[in-house]
Amino acid sequence: MKPFTYAAASSLEDVVGALDEGCRPLAGGTDLLGLMKTGIRGPERLVSLKSIEALEGVERREDGWRIGALTTLSELASPARGGEQRELEVLSRAAAESASPQLRNAATIGGNLLQWPRCWYFRNWLTRCWLKGGDRCLAAGGENRYHAILGAARCHMVHPSDPAVALAALDARVELRGVHGVRTLKIDAFFGEPKPLRENGTVVERDEVITAVVVPRPSRESRGVYVKLAERKVWDFALVSAAVQIEMTEGAVTDAAIVLGGVAAKPWHAFEAEGRLVGEALTGTAMEAAASAATAGAVSLSQNGYKIELAEGAVREALRRLQRTFGSESTGVG
């Protein structure tokens, strides 16, 4: 590991002023430190954000939820009880199904959105793939069972985050603070195209830190679920996941967000599938139509075609669960 210096940040202004190519922010460290040990990342300075109180806490405001960047996945996974928590159900489930209890205690939501890809060519310090400045994506012609089926061009990484998928379904915004001020970006805009040697495919600038994630309050008629499919029951990244948030009014879907994880370099909005649901009741036919439209445009590599089937299965299962949720509520059960 390359030697580095460490300091705890004194204020947000100081951090923002200090950040550059060689000076990077540290949150829980569950991703960054591992990458430094294997030599994939080698900052000269680390500034810990953990001392900045302004980045902590979850608040429910008039217009929505404000989730401080230092909020841990554990906190998101088991929020204090109360009726309104149901508003973030999809996010709680996604956080609860991430990693392991120990990791969730340390991992922050800010770091989670900025975690680096798990692609085994990227994580292998012996290879130089396109994302690390090499001339091509090694997965395209190599071992690619875990790689992208949607939207990939030069690089076939998939974004590993579960919470990001749920946040996209909740239409969340990421609040960034840099030397030039504050900006907020929708999840989709926050994750740009993968770019070599950049903060893992996001549009975050070198001087920026995530200060919070802001989630508009879902309507009272809105419910969400998260379905994650993996090779191991727990403590594993998603092969494919689906975050689905649906609003039902008088028996018909009035708003639908269907977002897939594990299939692309960012949470993947299945717009076509959403379109198949709006205006419909949650019938078997409508659900099936949505599930099979979810992977429209998918292109598989030599080994990852099964993800198409899995993605459709995940959406189908998510819709079935929502059908049960809405069904039991309308009959007053549960």
Ligand X SMILES: Cc1cc2nc3c(=O)[nH]c(=O)nc-3n(C[C@H](O)[C@H](O)[C@H](O)COP(=O)(O)OP(=O)(O)OC[C@H]3O[C@@H](n4cnc5c(N)ncnc54)[C@H](O)[C@@H]3O)c2cc1C
State the first-to-last Cα distance of the chain, in angstroms, to the nearest integer: 54
Say how far residue 79 (Cα) sits from the centre of its chain.
Answer: 18
Please state, as a whole number, how many other Cβ atoms lie within 10 Å of the Cβ of residue 105.
14
Residues 16-35 that bind ligand X (CB under 6 A): 24-32
Q: How far is CA 166 from CA 126, 243, 252, 259, 268, in A?
A: 34, 5, 22, 8, 11
CA-based angle 189:193:197, to the nearest 5?
120
- Contact predicate 236/146, CB 8 Å: no
Instruction: Give the per-residue contact string, 48-87, with other proteins (x = CB under 8 A; - = no).
Output: ----------------------------------------
Sheet strands (E) in 199-311: 209-216, 222-229, 240-249, 252-261, 268-269
Q: Is 173 in the site for ligand X (CB under 6 A)?
A: no
How near is the Cβ of 239 to ligand X at its closest, in Å? 11
Burial 251-270 (b: 16+ CB within 10 A, else e): eebebbbbbbbbbbbbbbbb
Q: Give the interface segment with other proteins, choosing from 53-61, 129-137, 165-173, 320-328 (CB under 8 A).
A: 320-328
Tokens 């990939």 belong to 152
Nearest approach in angstroms of CB 20 to ligand X is 12
Is residue 278 close enough to count as binding ligand X by CB under 6 A? no
H or E stretch covering 329? helix 306-330
Residue 195 contacts other proteins per CB under 8 A: no
Q: How far is the CB of 78 from ligand X (least distance, A)?
A: 16
Residue 174 forms beta bridges with which residues?
A: 185, 213
| 178 belongs to the binding site for ligand X (CB under 6 A) | no
Residue from 60, 66, 198, 320 binding other proteins (CB under 8 A): 320
* Pick 18 or 289: Cβ nearer ligand X: 18
Residue 275 binds which of ligand X, other proteins, none (CB < 5-8 A, kind-dependent): none
Which H or E run includes 47?
A: strand 45-48
Residue 128 interacts with other proteins (CB under 8 A)?
no
Is 90 one of the binding residues for ligand X (CB under 6 A)?
Answer: no
Binding site for other proteins (CB under 8 A): 1, 3, 37-38, 118, 120-121, 123-124, 126-127, 142-143, 145, 229, 231-237, 239, 303, 306, 309-310, 313-314, 316-317, 320-321, 324
Binding site for ligand X (CB under 6 A): 24-32, 49, 69, 98-99, 103, 106-108, 110-112, 114-115, 160-163, 209-210, 237
